[in-house]
A and B are shown apart, each in its own frame.
Chain A
Amino acid sequence: MADVYAEFEDKLPLLIREQVREHLPKGASESKTRKALEAVYEEYLSSLAEPGDAVGIVAAESIGEPSTQMTLNTFHFAGVSEMQVTMGLPRIIEVFDARKTMKTPTMEVYLRPPYNEGKDIKSAALRIKETTIQDYATSFSIDIAEPSLTVAFDVARLETVDSSVDAVARILSKGFKKMKVAMKGSSLIITPGKDQSLNDLYRVKEKVRNVYVTGIKGVHQVLPVKRGEEYVIVTAGTNLKEVFALEFVDETRTYSNDLYEVQELLGVEAARQLIINEVLKVLNTQGLNIDTRHIMLVADTMTMGGELQGINRTGIVREKASVLARASFETPFKHIINASLVGETDYLNSVVENVMVNQPIPIGTGIPKLVTRSQE
């Protein structure tokens, strides 16, 4: 039986073969199975894009048209304790532009058993969250008469993250080499060095607030959430690399929505999949139904160069071969002047250039050419 399916291994994708297997009645004879597969193969061939199909434009229109309906109705889940994540059109634009700085970087940190059943979930979350001195300090006071800055600490709170005033003192003396850091009970007294003025002390005070103490840098907020049967830690701010290093983290499922971070750590292929996932997530929450292949095409285009490129003039548009095509999309002067400096040639091989000079575009009916024998 299985050999019938094997015959179609090169013709049909795995998913379709599996679906045929699923839907055929059990015990269907070999010849009937083959007939069914042949019918499916025919249907499959007829639904492939034909040579000359304007797949790019069709993808753009298929994504663009529903997006216009999306702009206004951004849903908010009132009262649900979830992290705020950019959704709707702004997020789609962010992904397709491949922005370096995104509005809301988040991670979903999956945990290994037994942590995923809620064991030590709070301390696990705390180990992920980045904390600074201001999270533990109870007061900052500056003595003007005898220039010094006193930072009082909540020792109990420091102990929750296995830290101490002593440890903080060490971090501070490393960070501020010109200052003297002394411990006095649960407080630290920072005195400026010789050539330091009072003004410097004020500046130091502001700096001290944001000195890193524990946790993972870049993760500003953590929130343990129950996803189905298990606990997951949702974060605001990402740092996949360091989260992966933690022993209780399940690195096979942990998810970040930062394209560049994923590209760097897991490769472009992962970034490509992330583009698809993120866009689909937005579209699904909006109740819009766009064929995945349109988004896959966009994701492919964005990653085919080996690294992420946004759909803008610094990204894939810069890669276009035609001067005129590049010039027709933002900053025309730059492209034309640069092209004239090096004497670029435009072979009019693509759509926009041919529209500009009013020639048939090489798409659809514009592809076949008439061949005639020239008269000698």
Chain B
Amino acid sequence: MTEVFVDHKYVGTVKDPQDFIERIRSERRMGKLSTSVNVVFDAQTDAVLVETCQGRVVRPLLVVKEGKLLLTGRHVEQLQKNELSWADLVKQGIIEYVDATEEEGCFIAFYEDQITKDTTHLEIAPMAITGLATSLVPFGQHNHGVRNAQGAKNQKQAVGLYAANFYTRMDVDLSILHYPQRPLVQTIMHELSDFNKHPSGQNVTIAVLSYEGYNMEDAVVINQGSIQRGLGRSAYFKPVATEELRYSGGLIDEVCLPDKETKGYRSEHDYRFLEDDGIIFPEARVREGDVIIGKTSPPRFLSAMDEYNLTSNARRESSVSLKHGEEGIIDFVLLTENEEGNKLVQVRIRDDRMPEIGDKFTSRHGQKGVIGLIVAEEDVPFTASGIRPDLIFGPHGIPSRMTVSHLIEIIGGKTGALSGRFIDSTLFESEKEQDIRAELAHHGFRESGLETMYNAITGEQFLAQIMVGNMYYMRLKHMVANKLHSRARGPIQLLTRQPTEGRAKEGGLRLGEMEKDTFVAHGASLLLKERFDADGTVVPVCEGCGMVATWDYRRNRGSCTMCGDTTEISNVEVSYAFKLMLDEFKALGIYPKLLLESKY
């Protein structure tokens, strides 16, 4: 007796598990059962597992019965004439969806001629073993699987034309490539997924070459002329939004040009872009600190005194301004209402981003890298025919990663460009490397893709032949302009008097626990003290009670709230965080008494 489990719950037993499974399958193929019911026989535990629950990943496969493919030439003909659809094939049981459990019991052929009498399914296309993004990697069959996955991952971060309606949207952290191109080396998936309608990269001429050490560790060197011609140029969009919040007592925020009586009024200069409605005008060039949307809020606490205080205009300034390091041009202003019915103002800022040193680029093979140097066009090495590459890619990234597809794409792209056609590089079904090479040779180039190149600075010919070709390169959304950060002195936190944290707040770079240990290991005692002096303070301490005393600067003498004016008061240099800790101890009811002793 074989036990049957439905969604891992025991439901009963069957005598003949194979017959039972066969019946479930045939009923599913007939449409009597849901297409998402999957079943498998587990020989190890002698159990039939039926899966019906949600959340399983299923994939379509062509059904093979008794060594025969159910999909016939007739079906294909009808499909081509549009008389038959995918849904029809699923309904007829020619295609079925199989989940990971059922796949364990399947014998799936890769190609039609591999079907034997034991075969249960056939892949719709060999390419279908990968996901959508991975199938966009050209010549993937030449790679280690991991590299294909990385290539797919990188492509997801590419800057492109992600949606045609981007201009009416308010997306956060959005980049649009100015001159996107279709890849010369394509896979079937580029066609099927409409990639060509929203491309995300450009075909560039690359040379596999070291350049003055500026492309080591995966960096790339870029031709300045190419950038000036529009290579990798993109626009960065960032929305700024605020709403008129309602508070208790009928008080409300107001989007307006704050008047000078407002608490926390900045300078007139900061408000210079605001129009009468308190909102900035489009195409204004803004920098950090400039107010985008003017706003005032009601006072935070309504005390009894304020109500009688006629002179005070207690409204607070709460405008939205650009944070540290941000700049751009006002692109679009939107006035609307949010779900709660509050007035909502959204302003989109645009920033043109030319490729600069540190921006990230990638090919489709997991070969990402940042720009190490932008070279003036006249200094870029040229080939015998006078071609100067747009991008110089370091050769050291290839041997250890073994991304052969990267090299084949260079040759493929070159051939495609010369022949004026797209090269098919679909996984497992791509054009053959030899054919592409032969075609390249036919155009009068070396079939290996190598060319004689010249050093543009000295005019000397390079001793080695350099691989030159075309490939699809993408700019990734990680740009230095959004990340570059440094600080010497700057804002500090109110509570601890230590530097703020994070780039947006112009924060400090933390010297952490382990970094501290390295100072200790070197015995650099005084250097360590200096590094931690950011919140150093001098605290007057009463020698009588050992607590922090007060210092009267006018009379230039200290007094202790516990021991009075007569006690001895000494100044002690400690970190403010320590003083704060003492205060917190006191709040806990713990008396932290400082025992003072002369330092010398």
Contact = CB atoms under 8 A, between A and B. Distances in A.
Given A357-B575, A357-B578, A358-B575, A340 B591 contact: yes
Given A340-B590, A372-B600, A61 B521 contact: yes
Contact of A53 (B517, B523, B528, B532): B523
A161 interface: no
A195 to B, nearest CB: 38
Interface string B423-444: 0000000000000000000000
B529 A360 contact: yes
B590 A336 contact: yes
Interface string A46-63: 000000111001101100
A363 B590 contact: no
Nearest to B575: A358
A289 interface: no
B526 A365 contact: yes
Q: Which of A337, A363, A371, A372 has the most CB of B within 10 A?
A: A363
B288 interface: no
B574 A358 contact: yes
Nearest to A362: B525
B232 to A, nearest CB: 36
Q: Which of A57, A58, A351 has the most CB of B within 10 A?
A: A57
Nearest to A339: B590
B23 interface: no
A358 B529 contact: yes
Nearest to A65: B514
B600 A371 contact: yes
A174 B591 CA distance: 62
Contacts of B529: 358-361
B526 A366 contact: yes
B520 interface: yes
B526 A360 contact: yes
Contacts of B578: 356-358
Interface string B517-557: 11011111110110011011000000000000000000000
Q: Which of A337, A356, A357 has the most CB of B within 10 A?
A: A357
A361 B521 contact: no
Contacts of B516: 355
A372 B600 CA distance: 7
Contacts of B528: 355, 360-361
Contacts of A340: 585, 590-591
A365 B525 contact: yes
Interface string B560-600: 00000000000001110110010001001011000100001
Contacts of B535: 358
Q: Which of A336, A340, A361 has the most CB of B within 10 A?
A: A361
Nearest to A364: B523
B523 A363 contact: yes
A361 B536 CA distance: 15
Contacts of A366: 523, 525-526
A250 to B, nearest CB: 44
Contacts of B520: 54, 57, 351, 361, 363-364
A370 interface: yes
A345 B593 CA distance: 9
Nearest to A328: B513
Contact residues on B (Cβ < 8 Å of other chain), bracket: 20 to 34
Contacts of B574: 357-359
Nearest to B534: A358
Contacts of B577: 356
Interface in A204-219: none
A371 B264 CA distance: 52
B521 A54 contact: yes
B54 to A, nearest CB: 34
Contacts of A351: 520
B600 A365 contact: no
A90 to B, nearest CB: 22
B460 to A, nearest CB: 44
A336 B592 CA distance: 10
B575 A54 contact: no
Contact of A57 (B521, B581, B591): B521
Nearest to B590: A340
Contacts of A57: 517, 520-521
Contacts of B524: 364-365
Contacts of B532: 355, 358
B522 A364 contact: yes
Nearest to B595: A345
Interface string A338-376: 001000010000010001111111111111011110100
Contacts of B522: 54, 364
Q: Which of A52, A358, A367 has the most CB of B within 10 A?
A: A358
A222 B520 CA distance: 48
B523 A365 contact: yes
Given A358-B536, A365-B525, A365-B526, A61 B518 contact: yes
Contacts of A54: 520-523
Contacts of A61: 517-518, 521
Given A340-B590, A357-B575, A364 B525 contact: yes
Interface in B479-532: 516-518, 520-526, 528-529, 532
A12 B172 CA distance: 70
A94 B535 CA distance: 39
A367 B523 CA distance: 9
Interface string B44-59: 0000000000000000
Nearest to B518: A61
Nearest to B579: A357
Contacts of B595: 345
Contacts of B585: 336, 340
A60 B591 CA distance: 35
A361 B525 CA distance: 5
Nearest to A361: B525
Contacts of B523: 52-54, 363-366
Contacts of B600: 369-372, 374
Closest 5 CB pairs of A and B: A364-B523, A366-B525, A358-B575, A340-B590, A57-B521
23 contacts: A54-B520, A54-B521, A336-B588, A336-B590, A337-B588, A340-B585, A340-B590, A356-B575, A356-B578, A357-B574, A358-B533, A358-B575, A358-B578, A359-B529, A359-B574, A360-B528, A361-B520, A361-B525, A363-B523, A364-B525, A365-B523, A365-B524, A370-B600
Interface of B: 516-518, 520-526, 528-529, 532-533, 535-536, 573-575, 577-578, 581, 585, 588, 590-591, 595, 600
Given A359-B529, A372-B600, 9 more contacts: A54-B522, A54-B523, A61-B517, A336-B585, A356-B577, A356-B578, A359-B573, A363-B525, A364-B522
